[in-house]
């Protein structure tokens, strides 16, 4: 994320009205191999920002009072160095006495996945108590025993809670928020009545990888106020409810789920929310019916895995074979990936 900030000696005497001493500051951002981003501002238009900065006592990039004139997202490389060229300019208008100053910085906004261990506790994470309560009183991350981990589905859920953690820079008056998007499909895999093969049918679906659903959820499981260490948090206990599947399952049948989540961090700048970082998390869940009954206790959990990855949310013969084993034929019904 590139942040450009300004201050001016014209403030406050010559910026509180449309004076002739309306200096101009300008910038040009050129990411390596990317598109040039250029813009400019007149200092008269920044008077209110500097006034607010003085009231709040804020500074940024050694400037005070400070006005943020541009925030731009630059996609960094997954490894190695990302080069960005930044050119700044300031032009005095109608005099050569009171200068205006621009400063720029490239500030990282990072997202990481915690899929094991424990929920970050309070006071570092303000959503700790609500997150723990939503899991039925446990703060453990990763696969939980069948039938536990969701207060809203007692005895029904198979879940592997995660926490996604953002590290954000200290920017005066900035607001941050989480967004979460979801595409998912679940399938029933059953053995034919005569035992000669496996059939795969779509059970449920939501969104697609190219058009996911907004699944941000309740704010009580998110802490969007940066902690003293610059962290923000979101908790997610995504689950399968195997006993409530749309299609009938007999003992020996399997259920398979792929969920593709995209977690995004946005910053509010000038009244507009801007995405500044994102992380893809893919979840795969496999259960097998081992007894009759209408609770999760009738199922065995074989896999509940969250990883930083991007799933296609489609089922293939090789994926089915990895679940059922053996050599019996596999038939994936025509609409299983619709």
Domain count of the chain? 2
Assigned domain for 64 exists = yes
Give the list of residues 6+ apart from residue 328 with CB closer than 8 angstroms, or none: 191, 196, 197, 198
Assigned domain for 137 exists = yes
Assigned domain for 252 exists = yes
Give the per-residue pLDDT at 312: 96
- 321 and 201 both lie in a single domain: yes
Taking residues 77-87, what's their average pLDDT? Answer: 81
106, 122, 156 - which closes a domain? 106
Whether the per-residue pLDDT at 87 is higher than 90: the answer is yes
Check residue 134 and report its DSSP letter.
H
Assigned domain for 8 exists = yes
Give the per-residue pLDDT at 81: 80
Q: What are 314-330's pLDDT values in tens digits? A: 999 999 999 999 999 99
- 75 and 159 both lie in a single domain: no
Assigned domain for 51 exists = yes
Percent of the chain with pLDDT over 90: 80
- 57 and 31 both lie in a single domain: yes
- 297 and 274 both lie in a single domain: yes
What residues make up the domain containing 40?
2-106
Which among 82, 91, 86 has a CA at the least distance from the CA of 105? 86
Taking residues 215-234, what's their average pLDDT? Answer: 95
Give the per-residue pLDDT at 271: 78
66, 91, 106 - which closes a domain? 106
- 252 and 318 both lie in a single domain: yes
Q: Label residue 245 by pLDDT band (50, 70, 90).
A: confident
- 206 and 303 both lie in a single domain: yes
Q: What are 265-296's pLDDT values in tens digits? A: 999 877 789 999 999 999 999 999 999 998 99
Answer yes or no: pTM beyond 0.85. Answer: yes
- 192 and 320 both lie in a single domain: yes
Assigned domain for 83 exists = yes
Give the per-residue pLDDT at 78: 67
Give the per-residue pLDDT at 77: 67
- 193 and 272 both lie in a single domain: yes
The pLDDT mean for the chain works out to: 93
Give the per-residue pLDDT at 16: 84
Give the per-residue pLDDT at 34: 81
Give the list of residues 6+ apart from residue 25 with CB closer than 8 angstroms, or none: 6, 8, 40, 41, 43, 69, 88, 89, 90, 91, 100, 102
Q: Label residue 117 by pLDDT band (50, 70, 90).
A: very high
> Cα 279 to the chain's mean position, in Å?
6
- 276 and 313 both lie in a single domain: yes
Are the beta carbons of 44 and 51 closer than 8 angstroms? no
Assigned domain for 53 exists = yes
- 256 and 298 both lie in a single domain: yes
Q: Label residue 35 by pLDDT band (50, 70, 90).
A: confident
Assigned domain for 42 exists = yes
User: In a 3-state reduction of DSSP, which class is residue 13?
Assistant: coil
- 188 and 309 both lie in a single domain: yes
52, 83, 106 - which closes a domain? 106
Give the per-residue pLDDT at 82: 80
- 159 and 38 both lie in a single domain: no
């Amino acid at each position: 994320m590139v942040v450009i900030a300004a201050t001016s000696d014209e403030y406050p005497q010559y910026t509180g009205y449309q004076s002739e001493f309306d200096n101009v500051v300008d910038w040009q951002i050129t990411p390596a191999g990317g598109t040039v981003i250029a813009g400019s501002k007149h200092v008269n238009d920044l008077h209110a920002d500097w006034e607010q900065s003085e009231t709040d006592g804020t500074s940024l990039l050694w400037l005070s009072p400070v006005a943020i004139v541009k925030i731009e997202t630059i996609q960094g490389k997954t490894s190695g160095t990302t080069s960005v060229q930044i050119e700044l300019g300031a032009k005095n208008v109608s005099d050569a006495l009171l200068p205006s100053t621009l400063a720029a910085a490239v500030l990282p906004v990072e997202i990481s996945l915690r899929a094991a261990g424990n929920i970050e506790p309070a006071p570092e994470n303000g959503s700790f108590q609500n997150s723990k309560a939503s899991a039925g009183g446990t703060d453990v991350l990763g696969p939980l025993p069948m039938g536990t981990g969701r207060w809203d589905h007692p005895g029904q859920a198979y879940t592997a809670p995660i926490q996604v953690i953002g590290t954000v820079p200290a920017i005066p008056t900035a607001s941050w928020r989480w967004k979460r998007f979801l595409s998912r499909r679940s399938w029933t895999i059953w053995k034919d009545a005569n035992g000669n093969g496996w059939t795969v049918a779509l059970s449920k679906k939501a969104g697609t990888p190219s058009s996911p659903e907004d699944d941000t959820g309740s704010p009580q499981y998110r802490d969007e106020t940066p902690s003293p260490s610059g962290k923000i948090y979101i908790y997610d206990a995504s689950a399968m409810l195997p006993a409530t599947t749309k299609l009938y399952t007999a003992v020996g049948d399997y259920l398979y789920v792929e969920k593709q989540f995209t977690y995004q961090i946005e910053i509010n700048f000038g009244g507009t929310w801007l995405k500044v970082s994102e992380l893809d998390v893919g979840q795969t869940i496999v259960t097998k019916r081992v007894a009759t009954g209408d609770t999760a206790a009738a199922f065995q959990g074989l896999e509940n895995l969250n990883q930083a990855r991007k799933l296609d949310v489609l089922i293939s013969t090789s994926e089915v074979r990895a679940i059922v084993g053996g050599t019996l034929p596999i038939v994936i019904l025509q609409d299983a990936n619709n």
